[in-house]
Copies of this chain bind each other. A is one copy, B any other.
């Protein structure tokens, strides 16, 4: 069923039908409106989005950009945080009458092609990627873009970030207040590669300074990704001569790996090692001891990002340079002992 056929059946022009569909009732007589609506109803007519996109040069599609970090990595959706985020965004997108496309990608070109292929109305990047690619994307994307967890001060862009520095600060202070002085810092990648990790580390260092302490470099643990990384770190801690009494872990799931390994080695937690995680994702609550962790509000983050997206689309301007920084808080559970 097409507009044309409906027009024929109603005895009007296609453009009148089009007006009814778009509820431009001012331009059509009530009787005609009713007649056309009845026909649409009868045949369950739905418009062809391809035809509409073609003439409007926009598709009502929002792309969720999911970086593939390394060749051997699977989809980002394996990450529970990303699953939550994508799910929440999808609901918001649908509710606003847009459509969600997923775009797993390895490099900037893939994204640019994708965006032009479909005349995407806008893109939301769900996790910051390798620096070079993220930066390239922000610079080269020609349609509205919202980036999460990363911003560049030298480029006008839309971003939703977390107060990561304060997150690192709060986590560390929480431990310092409970008498810990030897506090390690563990993260999934290298500080130098990641803005987010660097910020968290700065907060960690700042809290130390406040207490007249200096972080010990032997306890900076870089490049322990995921559960597996955490397990590896756990084993290294067991072997270590001079150990910290506490650990700030920039990912819950990594913290879980540490906990599992230590428990298996018959350590008593949190007595033998206190840990503060990051994200407050599902694993934090499942592990024993449950993790005290830095919480971020996924729902709010998604809402802010989509809000920005809509405004960028409305203004037809990808260079508005809006940003929103989410605050963080500590969720207290059982993984920290007072010395």
Interface residues of A (CB under 8 A from B): 44, 46-51, 53-54, 59, 61, 66, 74-80, 82-84, 86-88, 90-91, 94, 99-102, 104, 112-113, 116-119, 227, 256, 260, 263, 282-283, 285-288
Which residues of chain B have C-beta atoms less than 8 A from A260's C-beta? 285-286
Contact with A59, one of B50, B87, B94, B263 (Cβ below 8 angstroms):
B50
Which residues of chain B have C-beta atoms less than 8 A from A49's C-beta? 50, 117-118
Contact A87/B101 with A50-B118, A119-B50 known, Cβ cut-off 8 Å: no
The 6 closest A-B pairs by CB, nearest first: A77-B87, A75-B87, A83-B83, A50-B53, A100-B102, A288-B288
- A82 CB to nearest chain B CB (Å): 8
- A69 CB to nearest chain B CB (Å): 13
For the complex, give the distance between the alpha carbons of A256 and B94 in Å: 32
Contact A99/B118 with A74-B91, A90-B75, A282-B283 known, Cβ cut-off 8 Å: yes
Q: Are A102 and B90 in contact (CB under 8 A)?
A: yes
Contact A78/B74 with A51-B54, A119-B48, A283-B282 known, Cβ cut-off 8 Å: no
Task: Report 14 cross-chain contacts, Cβ distance below 8 Å, ordered by A residue.
Answer: A46-B117, A47-B117, A48-B116, A48-B119, A49-B117, A74-B88, A75-B90, A77-B87, A80-B83, A80-B282, A256-B286, A260-B285, A282-B283, A286-B286
Q: Are A90 and B77 in contact (CB under 8 A)?
A: yes
